[in-house]
């Protein structure tokens, strides 16, 4: 479903990705862990074209997103993304946040888009928050609206960029619960996270990244309990 081949990415002189290869199958939940600056977020942002790779290729459902000829907007409609800082549209209500893209991009009639949006708000546990502005929501609620907004485009893949890193600890659980539901429904997910519990419980596979390469790629039980690489062991000993 997602195929990453030999991807390199630099910001100026700093090489952030130094040859990434990986494959993500449909319905798979892949968690990406690793220290700050290891390139996890950059890899995620390359997958939906928010960053352009310097070398290598990325395919989503057979379409090369790294090609200059690709219709990147069409690809992005199939790939939802959730950001660390939510990035909700502050000038729009939660309902408008969710319906904006379906109405403007897909041309779905407003009433239909709103019905879908209300259904999604119910799904993320915020059925009565349709007419409030983001400023009136807590961090955990904002992130759940952001997930609903991404889901409104009916994506085939969801990318999560440290979705709980800027939340107060007591709000982490409610966001992870929504993500867990999504995983159980069979959504293909790539999750950059520091939540080792989530990675272990929900992830089918865990990628450990360090200094721009994938050091280790294994099912969570193996990676957490019997890490093969010294660098992985060193990282885990600090975070677990």
Partner 1 sequence: MSIHGLAVVANNFHLFLIGTLITLEITALSVGMGMILGLLIALMKMSRVKFISIIGVAYIDFFRGTPLLVQLMLFHFGILPLFFDTGPFVSAVITCGLNSAGYIAEIVRAGIQAVDKGQMEAARSLGMTHTQAMKFVVLPQAYKIVIPPLINEFIMLLKDTSLVSVISVAELTFRGKLLYSTTYEPVWVWGTVCLLYYVVTKSISMLGDWAERRLATE
The binding site for partner 1 (CB under 8 A) comprises 48, 50, 73-74, 76-77, 79-81, 83, 85, 87-91, 100-101, 104-105, 133, 146, 149-150, 153
Judged by CB, which is closer to partner 1: 105, or 239? 105
Judged by CB, which is closer to partner 1: 25, or 85? 85
Q: Rounded to the nearest whole angstrom, what is the least distance from the CB of residue 76 to partner 1 in the complex?
A: 4
Buried b / exposed e along 211-236 (16+ C-beta atoms within 10 A): ebbbbbbbebeebbeebeeebbeebb
Judged by CB, which is closer to partner 1: 100, or 236? 100
Judged by CB, which is closer to partner 1: 83, or 208? 83
Q: Rounded to the nearest whole angstrom, what is the least distance from the CB of residue 180 to partner 1 in the complex?
A: 22
Contact 235, 35 (CB under 8 A): yes
Q: Rounded to the nearest whole angstrom, what is the least distance from the CB of residue 213 to partner 1 in the complex?
A: 25
Q: Rounded to the nearest whole angstrom, what is the least distance from the CB of residue 175 to partner 1 in the complex?
A: 17
Cα–Cα distance for residue pair 190/215, rounded to 1 Å: 17
End-to-end distance of the chain based on CA atoms, in angstroms?
31
Judged by CB, which is closer to partner 1: 132, or 196? 132
Q: Rounded to the nearest whole angstrom, what is the least distance from the CB of residue 153 to partner 1 in the complex?
A: 6
Q: Rounded to the nearest whole angstrom, what is the least distance from the CB of residue 20 to partner 1 in the complex?
A: 20
Q: What angle do CA 104, 109, 113 make, to 5 degrees?
A: 80
List Cβ<8 Å contacts ≥24 apart for 232-240: 232/208, 235/33, 235/34, 235/35, 235/208, 235/210, 236/196, 239/194, 239/196, 240/196
Judged by CB, which is closer to partner 1: 116, or 206? 116
Nearest by Cα to 212 from 5, 45, 41, 12: 41
Q: What's the chain's Rg over C-alpha atoms?
A: 18
């Amino acid at each position: 479903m997602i195929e990453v081949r030999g991807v390199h990415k630099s910001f100026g002189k700093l090489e952030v990705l130094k040859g990434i290869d990986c494959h993500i199958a449909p319905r798979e939940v892949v968690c990406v862990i690793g220290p700050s600056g290891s390139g996890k977020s950059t890899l995620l942002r390359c997958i939906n074209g928010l960053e352009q790779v310097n070398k290598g290729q990325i395919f989503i459902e057979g379409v090369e997103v790294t090609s200059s000829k690709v219709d990147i907007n069409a690809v992005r409609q199939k790939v939802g993304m959730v950001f660390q800082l939510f990035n909700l549209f502050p000038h729009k209500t939660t309902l408008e946040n969710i319906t904006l893209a379906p109405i403007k991009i897909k041309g779905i009639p407003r009433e239909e888009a709103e019905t879908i949006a209300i259904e999604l708000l119910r799904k993320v546990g915020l059925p009565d928050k349709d007419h409030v502005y983001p400023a009136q929501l807590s961090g955990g609620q904002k992130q759940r609206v952001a997930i609903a907004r991404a889901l409104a485009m009916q994506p085939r893949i969801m990318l999560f960029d440290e979705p709980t890193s800027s939340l107060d600890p007591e709000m982490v659980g409610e966001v992870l619960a929504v993500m867990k539901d999504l995983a159980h429904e069979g959504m293909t997910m790539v999750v950059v996270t520091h939540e080792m519990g989530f990675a272990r419980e929900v992830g089918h596979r865990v990628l450990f990244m360090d200094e721009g390469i994938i050091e280790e790629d294994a099912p969570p039980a193996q990676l957490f309990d019997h890490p093969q690489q010294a660098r992985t062991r060193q990282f885990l000993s600090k975070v677990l």
